[in-house]
Amino acid sequence: MIQGKTIAFLVAPEGVEQVELTEPWKAVQQAGGVPKLVSTKPGAVQAFNHLDKADTFPVDATAEDVSAADFDGLVLPGGVANPDELRMEPEAVRFVKQFFDAGKPVAAICHAPWTLVEADVVRGRTVTSWPSLRTDLRNAGATWVDQEVMVCTGGPNTLVTSRKPDDLKAFCQAAVDAFGS
């Protein structure tokens, strides 16, 4: 259980894959945690169902106004545009890196590890992702594996990664377990 723990969900203003945001969010809530939506801009974020616009979600805080010290863990949902935009935002990259520096658990799914590459936190770690990120992750010093979920404890923190929406059940369980440790 992660009763009372606050988990940040970092997403760009537009482009997050909705199910990769909503399913881990529900898993955190069901485990007794408190999810908070963090973005690079205030207001709301636009989610997508693949390439089609889906729902919008209100932002609780901006990456500029918070730090890892405010949270017990971090979820990085995927979608192609979401992590591609986040890795170009210095405040988002700084925010992600803080979790690794503080030894706090991080969970990233699908294309989200692009942001981890930019934060330079995958070197020496074993990860999985959407297959098209394999070369990027290897070039950043990670060992890439093709499996449903990878829990890597061989670093400063627990890092949970998954490949795609079909892996969400295993991803959510591994993330909640990591946040409860």
Listed residue (68, 71, 67) closest to 34, CA to CA: 71
Strands (E), 40-176: 44-49, 52-58, 61-62, 73-76, 106-109, 126-127, 143-144, 149-152, 159-162
Q: Which amino acids are annotated catalytic?
A: 110-111
Residue 64 DSSP symbol: G
Residue 89 CA to residue 14 CA, distance in Å, equals 13
163 and 110 in contact (C-beta within 8 Å)? yes
Burial class (CB in 10 A: 0-12, 13-18, 19+), 159: buried
The tokens describing 155, both together, are 């670093």
Burial class (CB in 10 A: 0-12, 13-18, 19+), 1: exposed
